[in-house]
Structure 1
């Protein structure tokens, strides 16, 4: 199976990434976590994405899954589903750089009737060699767009 040509600019994402993260939000106490992200190629014009996090004591915190699409013209689409009752359609731009790339995404969010209200999210992914830095901001539960999560992940070998 060969990688779809549309995915060539982001092919360095393929694999498993993990590392530490830190979270904060006006309605929460600050916290630390460990994050694992996997990007998988299945021969189609998108990468399958899965993410999960754990507290320092090993308790599971969050998971999400979706698809990372590169339709062309420097655009990226990230389609995500979360068990907390939200779906996100994040759209943005891909900026190629000498040592990797960066992606800036803004999303539209749909909330299930029983979910906490999330109005919008913003994500960044910055890849430099074998280091993937992520940030996540959200407007939720009456709070305007505010930084929430940041992680520094390294490629896992093996």
Structure 2
């Protein structure tokens, strides 16, 4: 199956990525985790996405799923659903670099009535060869935009 032409710049994401991460937020204790991202080509003008994290002891922590779209060469859209009752429509810029690309996204949120209230998020993904850096910030529970998560992932499989 040929990758849709709109996905050319982000083609390097296809596969599975894994690595260590750290988290912090003013309302919680700092923590470490292992993160895994999988981007799958489904033959359409988007990539399917699944994210999972585990504690150092191997216990599941978080998961989310969604779709990454590239409507044009400089624009990225990421729709993400979380089992905690939040959905994100993240939009932003896609910048090609000599060894990969960078995506800078800002979201609009929809929260279920029983979910923790997250007003907005910012995500940055930087691909440099076979290393994917992820940074995540959020405005939640009455606090302004604040750094929450960062991870450095390495490719573990190209066949997603």
Distance 2:93 2:39 in 1: 18
Distance 1:75 1:125 in 2: 14
**Partner in structure 2 of residue 13 of structure 1:** 13
CA 1:73–1:128 in 2, change beyond 3 Å: closer, same or farther?
A: closer
CA RMSD of aligned residues (A): 0.8
1:69-126, Cα deviation, whole Å (9 max, x unpaired): 0000410000000000000000000000101100000000000010010000000000
Deviation at 1:157, TM superposition (A): 3.6
Distance 2:48 2:79 in 1: 10
Distance 1:133 1:11 in 2: 16
1:114 equivalent in alignment to 2:114: yes
Structure with more relative contact order (C-alpha pairs < 8 Å, separation 6 or more): 2
Structure 2 unaligned residues grouped into runs of 5+: none
1:61 equivalent in alignment to 2:61: yes
Structure 1 unaligned residues grouped into runs of 5+: none
1:32-43 map, 5 Å: 32-43=32-43
Distance 1:59 1:130 in 2: 26
**Partner in structure 2 of residue 23 of structure 1:** 23
Distance 2:6 2:73 in 1: 10
State the TM-score, normalizing by the size of structure 2: 0.97
